[in-house]
Amino acid sequence: EKGAPAPLEHTSRDPMKCAVCRAAYEKALDRVLGQLRRSTFPVKMICGWTLLADGRHEKDLQYCIDGAIAWRKQGWRERSHPGNWYPALAGAFLVEVRKYRRDREVDAAIEDIVAWFASTQESTGGWYKWHEGALRERLDYPTVDLGFVSALAITTMITAKAQGLRVPPETLQRAEAWVNRLTRDRGLAYGTARG
């Protein structure tokens, strides 16, 4: 069509070497860095993974790591998202950080998160918005476990154990049994239905 922009030509299958893809990535990364200090805790954790993979922005990465270490100080409320999503996101991020650097503060934060998971694991073997909340207080609510939170909790514990950190074996065994039950049935979902 006359006057329409020419289609973009990719210069490589590797997005980091392709002129089109690399330009889009850099533009997106600039946006992330511009918003990072004003972002919510979950966004900081996701940005942390991006910055860890990128490897060029050490101060911004450290800002995300410091936020993950201080997960309980980020508007902490046990009976809301900071009581489940915050440790789940922080734990999954910090065990990834630990693959590239050893740091006592990171280890202590991971162990604190694992201890939190152990203390809040439900009788089902998974995790919910708050400990046993769906089972006792919201009997009308069809969801028992938050599958995505539980998956991040399990990821954190398996990776922490593989890295030599202490993970209570009974917590991990119950979580793995929970996953096996779900994957044979309906699979993981944001909310796992009763029954």
Count Cβ neighbours within 10 Å for each residue of 156-177 and write b for 16 or more, e otherwise.
Answer: bbebbbeeebebbeebbebbee
* The pair of three-digit structure tokens given for residue 70, joined into one six-digit string: 């201080």
The whole-angstrom separation of Cα 140 and Cα 135 is 10
pLDDT score, position 116: 93
Q: Which residue has the tokens 């069809």?
A: 142
The whole-angstrom separation of Cα 49 and Cα 41 is 13
pTM: 0.84
pLDDT mean by block of 10 residues, the chain; 195 residues:
77 90 93 92 93 95 96 68 85 97 95 94 79 56 73 95 96 91 72 61
pLDDT score, position 140: 64
pLDDT score, position 105: 96
